[in-house]
Amino acid sequence: MRKVLLSSVALIPILPAAASADDLARETVVITATRTPQPVDLIGASITVITGKDIETQQFVTLSDAIAQTPGTTIIREGGVGQVTTDSMRGAETGQTLVLIDGVRIEDPSATDEGAILQDLLVNAVDRVEVLRGPQSTLYGSDAIGGVVNVLTKRGGDTPFALTGTAEGGSFDTAHLNVAANGTWNDLDYGAAANFLVTNSVSAADARNGNTEADGYHHFGATANVRWHATDTVSIDLRGYYTRGRDSFDGFPPPTFTLQDDHEFGDDSLLTGYAGLNFSLFDNHFSNRVAFLGLTSERRFFGNFGFLPPFPFDTSENFFGKGGATRFEYQGIYDVGDEGSTQFTFGAESQLTTMATHSVFDFSPTPTHGKSLIQGYYAQGQTTLFDQLTLIGGVRIDHDEEFGDHTSWKMNAAWQPFDWGTVIRGNYATGFKAPSLFELFSEFSNPVTSLKPETAHGWEIGANQNLFDDHVRASVTYFDRRTSNLIDFFDCFGIVSPACTARAFAGGYYVNVGRTEATGTELSLTAQILDTLSLQANWTNMATRDLASGLPLARRPDNAANAVLTWTPDADVTLGGSVDYVGSRFNDAFASVPLSDYVLFNLFGSYRLCDQFDAFARVDNLLDRHYEPASGFGAPGRAFYAGLRAHI
């Protein structure tokens, strides 16, 4: 069975979690957890699949809004669409969750934490999103402490050409256009899409504090995914991803230096490319992949905050950051026996990252440059015993020219006792994050010692249970993760030391000081209540702690919950609603600025006008709830959107 999965990975369907009783009974196949296609019930780690149908039904525009509905995930957007967006998975720090597009990293090497620029990650020809939680460095190397988000775009199909186009508009002068094509023509599978969005949005600084200037956003994105089957055993992949966004945002201008309206704006762009060769040997028992990847990113900010003449504002450039990455990957998969119940996965990776950055506030008049080379080697074994117990174990060794060697490992198990519809699973794994180029080479670099990688170890235990003839699937997971050597900024104010003397012009430097812990419980439920009515719901209860101060971590809610109810009275009509709850939390590391909990209600619906056209509409924040995602920042109130979707 597994050999068939490996040879047909491009055609694997990922089913909606609550489409029908028959769908619930089938195996959902995931790729991210083991880097090979596997039935989800063989995976010991926690993973959530967001399907393209889920995204279309709820009419998500940004992928961060869809990801926010998964257990254990906190998304913070400092204002409306296009504003700075960060994620925290099971309490992990910003930048400690790896984000991939079709398996390609989209991190920004010039960013302070080298994280993905999530605010520019919009829905564009998405087939599915796999959200894998917990440390995952054994297979993915650096940056996978919290988990991995893998966005997989559409490629191939049952016809040579299929076209989907959407046009919508609504509140805040929003206009959104998207066109996507995919199909299979002879030996070629392809998919491509383009996306355009413009919105005036709302003030990033909370309007209730007297901020009335709208902070708009313009976005263009494109993606391409092509596979050519040269022979029955050889194929070539070409993939590309491009995004560019321009956003207005707010800052802390004089004389009050508080968050308020000003005339700053930014321009971000990111381009990635992938070229891969896939070939199988030994009657398809030995699959191989060799790939070269490239990335370039650029960010520029404009407006001098009123600190420099001419006062109070101008639109001159005050910051730029340029990043680049070149990467080589080899992966081999060897199946033992005809049934493929035992499998070995191994590989080698090498990545060179570069950075150039400069700000008008830098002490040096010239840009800061930095580069780093990291090489990794990994191996993983998987076997299924007695058709019930699946065991997975792996190890990875990374070598970095800055911090030396680091070893990661994992082991997990999934047990399906008898024929009870039950899966009992457990997982233990380690993760690490290499110091960013900014932390290593900027004016704030440590002058006396080399920074170590941030490290983590985590474990979880859980169970899945199918009930009522597979109409209901329930899951419970308890997790625990501890992180050490977190990199933070050491403020030299009032401190006399050789290091502070060396960094007197910068005011401080980066140092490994942090230790944190996150523990919690995740519950999820998928139910086909009636033939026409489905429910998806989850709840996360989490406690986080800074092990040095004993205080909770900033902006991590103690409770979060989501629920989506979808009604399809006939094939032409879909109606539904969702509710999102974010619990109380503190905005800062000193637990001195509390943030109130809030609940958001949303409605969505669509109607099939004819075979080629659908009309759709939604209401976000139905009750017009005012809330702060972060202290001082605002969020959109009630908003209405409507549009047309064409299928050709």
**What are the CA-CA distances from residue 504 to residues 210, 445, 510, 620 (Å)?**
37, 12, 13, 49
**In the prediction, which pLDDT does 253 show?**
79
Is residue 362 over pLDDT 90?
A: no
For range 316-331, the mean pLDDT: 94
Residue 363 has a pLDDT of 85
pLDDT digits (tens, 9 = 90+) for 56-72: 999 999 999 999 999 99
**Model confidence pLDDT, tens digit, residues 58-107:** 999 999 999 999 999 999 999 999 999 999 999 999 899 999 999 999 99
Task: Look at residue 360 in the predicted model and tell me its pLDDT.
Answer: 87
Residues 404-415 have a mean pLDDT of 96
Domain ranges of the chain: 44-647
The secondary structure of residue 435, as a DSSP letter, is: P
Q: Is 548 exposed, middle or buried (0-12, 13-18, 19+ CB in 10 A)?
A: exposed
Give the model's pLDDT for residue 254.
75
pTM (predicted TM-score) = 0.93
Does pLDDT of 310 surpass 80? no
What is the per-residue pLDDT across 191-215, written as a single tens digit (0 to 9) for each? 999 999 999 999 998 888 888 888 9
Predicted confidence at residue 314, as pLDDT, reads: 62
Residue 142 CA: distances (Å) to CA of 145, 181, 430: 8, 34, 11
Q: Structure tokens of 99?
A: 């984000």
Q: What are the DSSP calls for 20-78, one per residue?
A: -HHHHHSPPEESTTTTS-EEGGG--S-EEEEEHHHHHHHT-SBHHHHHTTSTTEEEEES
Which residue has 């924040």 as its token pair? Answer: 621
pLDDT above 90 covers a percentage of the chain that reads: 84
Per-residue confidence (pLDDT) for residue 8, from 0 to 100: 36
More confident call, 394 vs 12: 394
- Taking all residues of the chain, what is their mean pLDDT, rounded to a whole number? 91
Q: Span 44-647: which CATH code?
A: 2.40.170.20
